[in-house]
Homo-oligomer: A and B are copies of this chain.
Amino acid sequence: MSRPTIAAVARAAGVSVASVSRVLNGLPATEEMAERVQRAVAELGYVPDSRARSLKVGRTFQLTLAVADVGNPVYVTMMRAVEEVVSAAGYRLVVTTTGPDVVDEVALVRGMARGYADGLVISPLRVDDDLIKSIQECDVPVVVAGNVPARAGVDTVRANSPKGMLLAVEHLLTTQRHKVAFVNGPVDTVPGTARSKGFTDAMKANSLNPVAQVEADDFTFAAGREAGRRLLDQLGLETTQPSAEGARAPGGEASSPSSFPAAGGGGIDAVIAANDLLAVGVMHELAARGLRVPDDVAVIGMDDSELAEQSFPPLTSVNLGSAERGRRAAELLLARIEDDTRTPRRIVVQPSLSVRRSS
């Protein structure tokens, strides 16, 4: 038995389809009419087809959130925030994953023309002219949670990475750390570029020279660990442990009661990582080499995701406002759906530092 249609309901209620539609949409009708329709609806278990409806009204009341990697906890925070805003506005949120390639992002945006949703929040890892063009030409409103050139003329809400980097570097200085290394993600990504420049500027602003810099292949834990390996190799820090079994904890007891940097960091006393996953990967590699966090090396991540509290030791992390970015992005999208003529806004969310035990 197939799904009942509005016609079936009309027949069962002995009224016209128009009346059923009206009752269902809360338009004026007599008490009795409403009653009869409701009964028929309940009896048949009728549920309106959203495709047919949206074909007619031109809206789906669905919104899409596209992220590159569901495994990145920063997106969890963002998803939650977006979900909250859009569901309060009566929209359904669906999440899709694009993967790391810009071509897939472009395909996703182009695909929106198929009418899947009334709007899109996209947090692109990589941006090129094709992507910008696809966003500009998109049939539904798009807001970018990330950084695209102002001339693109699209709504964006982005983090302030340079400011965030400044917070990180200044925190390190305050805690007497001067020999800092930087583990970035792929520099051909939007966040990778921003972090790179931010780090360089922040160091310069504090008259510091980076001791070392490496670039991970990806914004993932595995890539972070691998990058940490390269970093420490580069610094001439061989693995000190005879076996994995005996590897020391990153948060092992301090060798001295104070929290001043101990020797043994092999030329560095701090690492800043471009996100939390990378930071945790680096901490694992430090531990594998017998280096303690924060005693030998302080570690700072970025994003202040759930992983930062879950990691051990808990990770000091630059809060780039992912929840607020999600919220603002959702609000921007809703506003643009409401009024497509408003001039594009570019919102920048300010960072803060969540100091935990890794620094």
Chain A residues close to B by CB (< 8 Å): 2-3, 45, 47-52, 54-55, 60, 62, 64, 70-71, 73, 76, 79-80, 83, 92-97, 110-111, 113-116, 137, 139, 221, 244-254, 259, 277, 280-281, 283-284, 287, 306-307, 309-314, 357
Contacts and interface: CB of A to CB of B under 8 A. Distances in A.
Contacts of A252: 248-249, 251-253
A114 B49 contact: yes
B60 A70 contact: no
Given A83-B97, A96-B94, A60 B71 contact: no
7 contacts: A47-B113, A47-B114, A49-B55, A51-B55, A70-B95, A94-B94, A283-B312
In the A-B complex, list the 9 residue pairs whose CB atoms are closest, starting with the nearest: A249-B249, A249-B251, A47-B113, A50-B114, A94-B94, A312-B312, A95-B95, A51-B51, A51-B115
B311 A245 contact: no
A1 to B, nearest CB: 10
A142 to B, nearest CB: 15
A251 B283 CA distance: 13
Contacts of A245: 259, 357
A106 B281 CA distance: 39
Given A83-B97, A253-B252, A287 B310 contact: no
Contact of A310 (B110, B311, B314): B311
B49 A312 contact: no
A250 B312 contact: yes
Contact of A96 (B54, B80, B95, B259): B95
Nearest to A71: B76
B309 A221 contact: yes
Contacts of A287: 251, 312
Given A251-B252, A283-B312, 19 more contacts: A2-B139, A47-B111, A49-B114, A49-B115, A50-B114, A51-B51, A51-B54, A52-B55, A70-B76, A92-B96, A94-B94, A94-B96, A95-B96, A249-B250, A252-B252, A280-B310, A281-B310, A307-B310, A312-B312
A94 B48 CA distance: 20
Contacts of A137: 45
Contacts of A254: 246
A111 B45 CA distance: 11
Contacts of A47: 110-111, 113-114
A314 B287 CA distance: 11
A4 B297 CA distance: 59
Contacts of A79: 70, 97
A336 to B, nearest CB: 17
Contacts of A281: 310
Contacts of A83: 97
Contacts of A71: 73, 76, 80, 306
